[in-house]
Amino acid sequence: MNGGLDVNRWEPGRNLCEAVINGVMTLDQVEAMLLETAVDKARGNLSSAARMLGLTRPQLAYRLKRLQDDTQSHSHVALVTPADRTENQS
């Protein structure tokens, strides 16, 4: 064992871990993927989806709301290129 962790037990998730560590995905993206997959699998039943994830229904609802708020706030962000910054400084 490695410091109390049985790494081989998590072999199926190794690629996902590598994707996060290598910057391919963020932890927030992984969480969003898990939440959305559980809700889809539960056909929209939040209580059932929460049980799949080991959460309470209020915890799942909070995380889904946070995810929705984050998605909405990012959709309103204007992208500024380095050229735009240079033009605005003159």
Give the pLDDT confidence of 9-24 residue by residue, as tens digits.
Answer: 777 788 889 999 999 9
Give 2's strand partners: 5
For the domain spanning 7-89, the CATH number is 1.10.10
How confident is the model at residue 76, as a pLDDT? 53
Report how far residue 65's alpha carbon sits from residue 37's, in angstroms, rounded to the nearest whole number.
Answer: 15
The rounded mean pLDDT for the chain is 82
The values of phi and psi at residue 2, to 5°, are: -100, 100
Residues of the chain with pLDDT under 70: 1-7, 75-90
- Give the length of the chain: 90
**Distance linking the first and last C-alpha atoms of the chain:** 60
